[in-house]
């Protein structure tokens, strides 16, 4: 009889421990939230909502978007870095996250250590653009002029320290031209300046310039990524110019990360669901409407991408003698 009781007790204890372990590893166990360091309604916000809606079904829980805009994405990053590392709180990271890590002297978190990458979400092209009907018809025209007239070419961009501004600095250094990068307070003033002849050329995100390009007010000379942009397939890449620009490749991007120490199995599950969502035709279509190219990745690939961008922009900031904030 004692043996029977002992076996019963052992079986009960085994079942209890097994149930406890399952409860601890069950994921997800409640709604998820994606913290977005941008205001509602923008491309980053819509990307997060589009993907969030798609992954909610297979995960069995809703996905809530929480907008926490702030300079450098500091508020959103700090919130997620301090969150429970259980996979229920995600951060929308981007090329801006890498820029902030390079530009800010002090952040309340370590960009490369306090987050576990999940997956890329999308990439979006930057473009070299001039006034339609102006002196430059091709990127070769622009480079020839810049090399023949050192210090005369003016390149307009949004604010100092933006991805566009740093891309312009990288472009002129890589091309080996002596040009002035002129920052403006946002994209609209840069468009006004290039159309009015105040600056010769501008570098900015392609999507926001498409209405002006479509209206034949602006002319794209090249896109800065490794491949031609689907929105303007006849426009060459910068790297097609060859020479020192043959390896040039700059794009903006966004992705998802979770707090460091989130279990690897949870990170992998999230990554799989995100990649599956991004492969859906309706998701691709919605993002393309925002001039974004849906692109998933493994956690390791996103981690490498983020680290490489931090290194690259740190080097550009140092070379351009941009004061760290």
Note the helical H segments in 90-160. Answer: 95-103, 139-148
Q: Is residue 120 part of a domain?
A: yes
Q: Which two tokens stand for residue 61?
A: 């829980």
Counted domains in the chain: 2
- Chain CA centroid to CA 15, Å: 46
**58 and 45 within one domain:** yes
Pairing of strands 179-183, 63-67: unpaired
Rounded CA gap, 82 and 77, in Å? 9
Residue 41 pLDDT: 87
**166 and 182 within one domain:** yes
Domain final position from 222, 245, 268: 245
SS3 state of residue 172:
helix
Residue 26 pLDDT: 87
85-134 pLDDT tens trace: 999 999 999 999 999 999 998 999 999 999 999 999 999 999 999 999 99
**49 and 107 within one domain:** yes
Residue with tokens 């070379």, as numbered in its chain: 319
**221 and 78 within one domain:** no
Closest CA to 255 of 308, 206, 294, 311: 294
**113 and 132 within one domain:** no
Residue 63, judged by CB atoms within 10 A of its CB (0-12, 13-18, 19+), counts as buried
Rounded CA gap, 129 and 54, in Å? 35
**136 and 115 within one domain:** no
Those residues of the chain that have pLDDT short of 70 are 1-25
**135 and 51 within one domain:** no
**257 and 120 within one domain:** yes
Q: Which two tokens stand for residue 187?
A: 């994209």
**130 and 105 within one domain:** no
Residue 270 pLDDT: 98
Q: What is the dihedral of CA 117, 118, 124, 127, to 10 degrees?
A: 20
Rounded CA gap, 182 and 192, in Å? 13
Residue 314 pLDDT: 95
Domain final position from 194, 217, 245: 245
Residue 259 pLDDT: 98
The interaxial angle of helices 95-103 and 163-175, nearest 10 deg, is: 80
Rounded CA gap, 132 and 195, in Å? 8
**168 and 78 within one domain:** no
Residue 324 pLDDT: 84
Domain containing 53 equals 29-124+252-319
Domain final position from 192, 221, 245: 245
Rounded CA gap, 256 and 259, in Å? 11
Q: Do the beta carbons of residue 253 and residue 38 sit within 8 Å? A: no
| CATH number for the domain that contains residue 165 | 3.40.190.10
**224 and 173 within one domain:** yes
Q: Is residue 15 part of a domain?
A: no
Q: Please give the share of the chain, as a percent, with pLDDT higher than 70.
A: 92
Q: Is residue 284 part of a domain?
A: yes
**215 and 148 within one domain:** yes
Residue 110 pLDDT: 96
């Amino acid at each position: 009889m004692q043996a029977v009781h002992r076996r019963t007790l052992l079986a009960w204890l085994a079942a209890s421990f097994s149930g406890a372990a399952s409860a601890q590893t069950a994921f997800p166990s409640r709604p998820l939230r994606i913290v977005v360091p941008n205001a509602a309604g923008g491309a980053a916000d819509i990307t997060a909502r589009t993907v969030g809606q798609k992954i909610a079904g297979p995960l069995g829980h809703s996905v809530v978007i929480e907008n926490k805009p702030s300079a450098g994405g500091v508020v959103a990053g700090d919130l997620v870095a301090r969150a429970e590392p259980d996979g229920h709180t995600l951060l929308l990271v981007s090329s801006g996250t890498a820029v902030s890590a390079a530009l800010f002297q002090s952040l309340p978190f370590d960009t490369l250590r306090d987050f576990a990458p999940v997956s890329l979400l999308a990439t979006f092209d930057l473009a070299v653009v001039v006034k339609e009907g102006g002196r430059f018809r091709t990127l070769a025209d622009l480079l020839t002029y810049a090399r023949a007239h050192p210090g005369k070419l003016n390149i307009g961009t949004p604010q100092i320290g933006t991805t566009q501004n740093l891309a312009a600095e990288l472009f002129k250094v890589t091309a080996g031209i002596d040009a002035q990068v002129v920052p403006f307070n946002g994209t609209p003033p840069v468009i006004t300046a290039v159309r009015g002849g105040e600056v010769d050329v501008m570098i900015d995100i392609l999507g926001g310039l498409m209405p002006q390009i479509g209206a034949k007010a602006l002319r794209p000379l090249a896109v800065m990524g490794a491949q031609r942009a689907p929105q303007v397939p006849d426009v060459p890449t910068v790297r097609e110019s060859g020479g020192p620009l043959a390896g040039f490749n700059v794009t903006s991007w966004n992705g998802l990360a979770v707090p460091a120490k989130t279990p690897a199995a949870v990170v992998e599950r999230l990554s799989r669901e995100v990649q599956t969502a991004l492969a859906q035709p309706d998701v691709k279509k919605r993002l393309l409407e925002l001039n974004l190219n849906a692109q998933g990745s493994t956690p390791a690939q996103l981690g490498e991408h983020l680290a490489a961008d931090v290194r690259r922009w740190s080097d550009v900031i140092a070379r351009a003698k941009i004061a760290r904030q």
